[in-house]
Structure 1
């Protein structure tokens, strides 16, 4: 019951009015008494947080917390791609020839997620990763590889949950949720980082407009709910190095180009 309540606070609900109320409470000092119970319920590692838990004056401040420097080790090898987030790998594999793939018993079109057939064509026959961030996870996202931004745009106006309930009840939630897409040019082709926002709130915050991407660099965070999808352009020597349902940390290798 307690976990269900807390999930509402950080992932919101299907009702815009309720979501607005929850957002107001979560971002105010009224939620401060919930901070320690939230941390205990989700077994958050307080030792790696940037500040002691009493420093945070709202549940939202805790949810968007930074980590102490050195808390995550980034694989700096030039031929690897790392997880952009802490999360659970809920989908991974080769993108089918018809540019559709299965996510939690729902089929999604690459065209819908990327917005246009032209954008999607870059990743035809490539690879995808889907990272789900639960309320317990660190909610900042980082660049998974060195490169340069060649496109950055927002899509979607309707939001559904990115958890299992939303996937059952929402109409293609990954393609209708508000999302920010960052496309990178790398030494191995293009990589798209799709940040999927939470319910009824455009909750994706970017830190910088710079086009330079440094592997492991923090470039934004989610203030409510979240899922991150990576699309990787087809390359004959690329292979994923992690299995479905694996718990991963930001900076951990999830794929490599064999040289």
Structure 2
């Protein structure tokens, strides 16, 4: 029912979710500290060789609350290059540790080769938190998807997701008049969250 933002240069919100943060220049392998949780591409992507293409790139992370619509939709039109489910820890983690969960919790990893060459290969990661550790992927490798098509879903509870872009992708984000962080409000699914410059 949500309208899908149009334009080849427009990336849409894959979930009905609130923006947490945007981090640039992410590392392939980062150490986890007691305070502050950097993104570690190898851990997030379960040591997939494709992770090396994203060194120095950008991670956009957002979170869903328990009452949010829990299906995932493709942020771009393109071809599904690889899908996998990673079994992770079943744990209660405070909201301040949401970035850490991208490396340790159960997650669905979907690599998409965008039809727009200025985006190219990107990655969507859906992260189940605690009782949402069931992630269901509904697309297959080699399948072409249009922007807004369903990719999969969570089953109940709250959760988080990431979009990961290669370093050569220059993005301008649109947070829809909310400030990224734990007090952010939901941005509608399939609305514009970023434009490729």
Determine if the TM-score, normalized by the shorter chain, exceeds 0.5: yes
Which of these residues, 144, 161, 184, is aligned with residue 112 of structure 2? 184
Identify, as 1 or 2, the structure richer in helix: 1
* Unaligned segments of structure 2, at least 5 residues: none
Are 2:165 and 1:232 equivalent residues in the alignment?
yes
Task: Report how far residue 201 of structure 1 moved.
Answer: 5.8
Count of residue pairs the alignment pairs up: 184
Structure of larger gyration radius: 1
Larger relative CO (CA 8 A, sep 6+): 1 or 2? 2
What RMSD over aligned residues (CA atoms) do the two structures have, in Å?
2.7
Task: Report how far residue 173 of structure 1 moved.
Answer: 2.7
Task: Report how far residue 82 of structure 1 moved.
Answer: 0.9
How big is each residue's C-alpha offset from its partner over 1:37-91, in whole Å with a ceiling of 9 and x where there is no partner?
Answer: xxxxxxxxxxxxxxxxxxxxxxxxxxxxxxxxx3x11112111111101111012
How big is each residue's C-alpha offset from its partner over 1:98-149, in whole Å with a ceiling of 9 and x where there is no partner?
Answer: 66599x9322312111122733211122211111000121111100000001
Q: Relative to 1, partners in 2 of residues 1:149 and 1:124: Cα closer, same or farther, differing over 3 Å?
A: same
Are 2:184 and 1:252 equivalent residues in the alignment?
no
Partners of 1:141 and 1:215 lie apart in 2 by 11
CA contact (8 A) 2:13 2:75 kept: yes
Partners of 2:132 and 2:15 lie apart in 1 by 20
Partners of 1:209 and 1:174 lie apart in 2 by 22
CA contact (8 A) 1:83 1:144 kept: yes
Identify, as 1 or 2, the structure richer in strand: 2
CA contact (8 A) 1:159 1:173 kept: no
The residue that corresponds to 1:215 in the other structure is 147
Task: Report how far residue 183 of structure 1 moved.
Answer: 0.1
Partners of 1:231 and 1:130 lie apart in 2 by 9
Are 2:174 and 1:241 equivalent residues in the alignment?
yes
